[in-house]
Structure formats: structure tokens, C-alpha cells
Amino acid sequence: MKKGEIPQDKSTLENFTDEVIYAKGEDGKYDTGLSTGWSVKSEALDSAWEDINGELEEARKDVMNGTKSPIFYFMKKELMDEAILASYVGFMKFRVKRHFKPSVFKRIKNSTLEKYASVFNISIDELKLFKG
């Protein structure tokens, strides 16, 4: 792509940041240029966020229906998976997955809940009393 062809399409990030793009200058050498957005990339990002929001809504419903604990919801909200969450709280992955069960969640000690709350940047009460 030539430097003059760098896309300047509308995007959701255009008011927050510009993206650095490498393009060929007039001398044929690669140089950097700024792009406010590219419609194809913007559509892909919008689609990804729709998927993420759909997963978050499903997680919320699972908590409300009593099939998952609030830990599961907040993990999804923070865009984590079991392995990432386990590494942050210092537990084995199987233990984190076990904490997704509402019956197990009810028996978790406050010291353990504090680790989760700290990772999610919420209070223990917000975690315990989550109402969706």
C-alpha cells in the first residue's frame, strides 16, 4: 500500500487513537503513516464485541438461573478464561472451575473470595450479592 492510500474510514476508535500503518513512500521505502480507521477492521471488531457481549449475557443468565456462580460471570466480564483467572488468583484451573458451581461458591471462605474480588476489582459483597 502506498502512503497516500492509507485508509481513513470512520471507526469507533477514531476519536481516541490513530493507528500506525506501514506503507511505501514516494521513494519506494517503507514509512509510517497514521490511519483513523479501516471499515473492514471496524466491522470485524464490532462483530467480535457482539460475540463477547452475547457470551456475557449468557453468563449473566447462567448466574441468575443458578447454574453458575458469580465468579464465572466476572471472569467473562474481564475477558478471561479459566487458565488466566487461575494464574491471577494462584489456584489450579480445576479449582477455579469448581468455584463456578453455585453449591461450592456458597461455601468458599472470605479469604478466597477476596482473591477473586481483588482480581475483578470489586468488593467481596459485590461478588457475593451479584444480582445481574
Domain ranges of the chain: 41-128
Residue 58 φ/ψ, nearest 5 degrees: -65, -40
pTM: 0.77
Q: Which amino acid is at 115?
A: K
CATH number of 41-128: 3.10.129.10, 3.40.605.10, 3.40.50.720, 1.10.260.40?
A: 1.10.260.40
Q: Which amino acid is at 85?
A: L
Residue 15 φ/ψ, nearest 5 degrees: -85, -5
Q: Does residue 36 contact residue 9 with C-beta atoms inside 8 Å? A: yes
pLDDT single digits (tens) 12-60: 666 777 778 788 888 888 888 887 777 777 788 889 999 999 999 999 9
